[in-house]
């Protein structure tokens, strides 16, 4: 069995019309918005399979927001490792997932399924940065981030603090997170700024997503 040294965490949700990509519904309708969600997830899994397949020291775990594990396996297949997201808000859920990784002595990177620009080069840079830094962040153009990674030697309490009192869903997410890392005395590395696909204005960047659902 391989000895996993690195962990990629993918946060996503089960595709339900009316509950996915809700800011796209006014222009695409509920079915069109959920179709975009499916395509984005398919695209990022293709990129992750490309990144991970030749590297047996990297593990992928999908953290899901769904009614059941069976739903996720019926949708994406049973070959992936799945965990249910745990926590009252997004920050608690991300902290829980990353703490699981560092508790198992893995440099851990967490991404969502909203950014079609994530690729092997971005992930490689992220993991390389964690050899010399405590935190790696992939800024998004909307003021949030599409990627956050933590080094294996970070204490769980510090990891929790990174996500404390962050105004989720606003354009202050990245700046507040950077302020938290500075307050904690953590070294950070910033990746290239990319676009998430959240609003109708973001759809012009959807051409990166070339893999059908």
Lookup: tokens for 154: 């970070």
**Cα dihedral sign for 206, 123, 66, 212?**
positive
CB 158 within 8 A of CB 186: yes
Per-residue model confidence (pLDDT) at position 9:
98
Global pTM value: 0.93
Q: Given phi > 0 = left and psi -120 to 50 = alpha, else beta, which region is 102? A: alpha
Q: Report d(CA 51, CA 69) in Å as an integer.
A: 25
| pLDDT tens track for 28-61 | 999 999 999 999 999 999 999 989 866 668 999 9
Domains of the chain in sequence order: 6-207 (3.90.550.10)
CB 64 within 8 A of CB 12: yes
| pLDDT tens track for 173-213 | 999 999 999 999 999 999 999 999 988 888 888 765 544 44
Q: Report d(CA 134, CA 181) in Å as an integer.
A: 9
């Amino acid at each position: 069995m391989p000895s996993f040294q690195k962990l990629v965490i993918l946060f996503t949700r089960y595709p339900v019309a009316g509950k996915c990509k809700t800011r796209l519904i006014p222009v695409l309708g509920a079915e069109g918005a959920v179709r975009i969600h499916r395509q984005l997830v398919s695209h990022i899994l293709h990129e992750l399979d490309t990144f991970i397949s030749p590297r047996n020291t990297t593990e992928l775990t999908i953290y899901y927001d769904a009614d059941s594990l069976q739903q996720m396996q019926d949708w994406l297949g049973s070959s992936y490792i799945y965990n249910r997201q745990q926590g009252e808000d997004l920050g608690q859920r991300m902290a829980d997932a990353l703490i699981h990784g560092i508790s198992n002595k893995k440099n851990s990177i967490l991404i969502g399924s909203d950014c079609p620009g994530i690729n092997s080069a971005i992930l490689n840079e992220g993991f390389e940065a964690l050899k010399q830094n405590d935190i790696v962040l992939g800024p998004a153009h909307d003021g949030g981030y599409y990627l956050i990674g933590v080094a294996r030697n970070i204490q769980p309490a510090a990891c929790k603090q990174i996500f404390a009192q962050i105004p989720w869903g606003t354009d202050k997410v990245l700046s507040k997170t950077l302020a938290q890392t500075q307050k904690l005395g953590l070294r950070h590395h910033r990746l290239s700024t990319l676009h998430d696909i959240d609003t109708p204005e973001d759809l012009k960047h959807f051409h990166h997503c070339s893999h059908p659902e």
